[in-house]
Amino acid sequence: MTSKPIYLDYAATTPADERVIAKMQSCLSLEGDFGNPASATHEFGLKAKALVGEAREQVARLIQVEPRCLLWTSGATEANNLAIQGVAKYYQQKGKHIVTSQSEHNSVLDTCRFLEGQGFEVSYLKPNADGRIDLKTLDAALRTDTILVSIMHVNNETGIIQDIEAIGKITREREIFFHVDAVQSLGKLPINLKTLAVDLMSFSAHKIYGPKGIGALYIGNWPRVRLQPLMYGGGQERALRPGTLPTHQIVGMGEACHMAAEVMSDEISRIQKLRKQLWQGIQGLAGVSLNGHPEYRTAGILNVCFNQRDRKTLLAQLSTLALSTASACNVGTEEPSHILKAMGLSDEAANCSIRFSIGRYTTEQEIEQAIQIIQGAYQ
Ligand code: PMP
């Protein structure tokens, strides 16, 4: 029997935690809480509605917002689409200019490209070589007809953290809405939306040991953000996101957030130690360099350029490690990462870069084994 590769791809997705799975299972069968949360006439529906409410509170607590500001979606791709298209369509009389960055996730970039086809204008800011967005560049890109800025919190390929506090101050002063894709920071960095001038924030459960297919959008109400929905139907979620609420998915996301709040600070320091262990073990190898800023980064992601190594040979040599060259979201492409290219890496350097992402179940032994496998590829 061949053993499974060592999983170092937690930024692509995480396994669901056992506690999450148990909670989800309790919402599926006849014996469980399977009711439709919108069935207000009987106990089954009322119980499911209460569970959805509890989960909304669990997510809200992790980011310090009122539960009613959260809307369930099918994931962050939908949350990003709803935030960006929703603002664009609702406020188009006010202006048709949007600012984002070249290093966003495709669910933001492709939504912006779609809107360009609908008569909107989009400025795509180039990050610095270290992956950070320059605040002066951002400020200079804003215009009187700018209605939205969309900048992610933590980059999914490099782990680089953007200064969303400072960006929010700039956008709030200019009365421009600010959307943040926080998929890679939820549960991994403290987020306090009470103190951040962020109007919209997108989340996904499957990066924090919850299930795939569920996410949420935070919609601020001071100043109030109005959105045009993407879909029309039964009026659920304030008619902004109609459709029967999937109780099992929702309680799974709630439980994942509840757990994240409990373990976050210990987990950050443990994972950070593992990342440092990995980097120490490989940084001395010929032609190896770190992609992105050395400090403004999340604990679990290490993006390394193995300069002048052939991508295919390197990946074959590292086949006992489950990792990723670009993000899993650039499905089926052999194209060099648009994120690394935006930071100024050549096609060749981007192509021989690898993302290692570490998570809750990664052990010191696994990191040590990974180091040996990588070192072995140099012999
Ligand atoms: N934004 C970022 C930064 C991501 O990493 C991902 C997932 N790879 C998404 C958005 C899309 O999230 P989902 O899988 O929930 O649609």
Residues 20, 23, 28, 30, Cα dihedral to 10°: 160
Question: What is the Cα 120 distance to its own chain's centre?
Answer: 25
Q: Do the Cβ atoms of 303 and 343 come closer than 8 Å?
A: no
Residues 115/96, Cβ–Cβ less than 8 Å: no
Query: 49: CA distance to ligand 1 center in Å?
Result: 27
307 vs 84: CA distance, rounded Å: 37
The pTM score is: 0.97
Give the pLDDT of residue 111: 98
Ligand 1 centroid to Cα of residue 200, in Å, is: 15
Handedness of CA 240, 114, 148, 195 (dihedral sign): positive
Counting ligand 1 atoms within 8 A of each CB, the residue from 181, 329, 337 with the most, and so the one to mutate, is: 329
Mean pLDDT of 272-295: 96
Strands 215-219 and 70-73: antiparallel
- Is 329 catalytic? The answer is yes
How far apart are the C-alpha atoms of 210 and 246, rounded to whole Å? Answer: 14
Closest ligand 1 atom, residue 213 Cα: 15
Could you identify the atom of ligand 1 that is nearest to the CA of residue 75? 15
Q: Which of 179, 204, 206, 207 to mutate to test the pocket of ligand 1 (most atoms within 8 A of CB)?
A: 204
Length of the chain equals 379
Q: For ligand 1, is residue 183 a contact (CB within 6 Å)?
A: yes
Strand order in the sheet with 353-357: 288-290, 301-306, 353-357
Q: Which residues pair with 324 in a beta bridge?
A: 355
For residues 269 and 320, is the Cβ–Cβ distance under 8 A?
A: no
- Ligand 1 lined by 105 (C-beta under 6 Å): yes
Find all residues with CB under 8 Å of 116, minimum gap 6, and list them.
Answer: 122
Q: Which residue ranges make up each domain of the chain?
A: 6-15+264-377, 18-259
CATH of the domain spanning 18-259:
3.40.640.10
Q: Spell out the long-range contacts of 62-67 with Cβ–Cβ below 8 A and sequence spacing 24 or more.
A: 62/186, 62/187, 62/191, 62/257, 62/258, 62/260, 62/261, 63/182, 63/186, 63/191, 63/192, 63/193, 63/201, 63/203, 63/218, 64/191, 64/192, 64/193, 64/194, 65/193, 65/194, 65/218, 66/221
- State how far the Cα of 199 lies from the Cα of 172, in Å rounded to an integer: 9
Residue 186 tokens, joined: 């939820």
Interval 62-113: pLDDT, tens? 999 999 999 999 999 999 999 999 999 999 999 999 999 999 999 999 999 9
Choosing from 183, 303, 327, 355 the residue with most ligand 1 atoms within 8 A of its CB, the one to mutate for a pocket test is 183
Cα-to-centroid distance, 89 and ligand 1 (Å): 23
Distance 204 CA to ligand 1 centre (A): 7
Cα–Cα distance, 182 to 154 (Å, whole number)? 7
pLDDT score, position 332 = 53
Which residue's CA is the nearest one to ligand 1's atom 10?
76
Q: From ligand 1's centre to the CA of 339, what distance in Å?
A: 14
Structure confidence at residue 326 (pLDDT): 62
* Distance between CA atoms of residues 129 and 109, nearest Å: 20
The CB density around residue 279, as the number of other CB atoms within 10 Å, is 17
pLDDT for res 219: 98
For residue 93, report the phi and psi dihedrals to the nearest 5 degrees.
-70, -30
Ligand 1 midpoint to CA 183 (Å): 6
Q: Which two tokens stand for residue 255?
A: 């439980």
Distance of alpha carbon 143 from alpha carbon 121, whole angstroms: 11
**Could you read off the pLDDT of 1-40 as tens digits, one per residue?**
568 999 999 999 999 999 999 999 999 999 999 999 999 9
Q: Is 157 in the pocket of ligand 1 (CB under 6 A)?
A: no
Residue % of the chain over a pLDDT of 70? 97
Ligand 1 nearest-atom number relative to CA 77: 16
What is the CATH superfamily name and number for domain 6-15+264-377? Answer: Aspartate Aminotransferase, domain 1 (3.90.1150.10)
**Cβ(168) to ligand 1 under 6 A?**
no
Q: What is the mean pLDDT of the chain?
A: 95
Contact partners, residue 120, CB within 8 Å, separation at least 6: 88, 92, 96, 97, 98, 112
Residues 100-153 have pLDDT tens digits of: 999 999 999 999 999 999 999 999 999 999 999 999 999 999 999 999 999 999
Query: What is the mean pLDDT of the segment spanning 233-262?
Result: 97
- Pocket probe for ligand 1: among 14, 156, 161, the residue whose CB has the most ligand atoms within 8 Å is 156
Calpha distance 195→291 (Å, rounded):
30
Exactly one of 27, 257, 305, 329 is catalytic; name it.
329
- The residues pairing with 181 across neighbouring beta strands, listed in sequence order, are 202
Q: What is the pLDDT of residues 303-360, one digit of tens each?
A: 999 987 877 888 889 999 999 876 554 545 578 999 999 999 999 999 999 999 999 9
Residue 76 C-alpha to ligand 1 middle, in angstroms?
Answer: 5
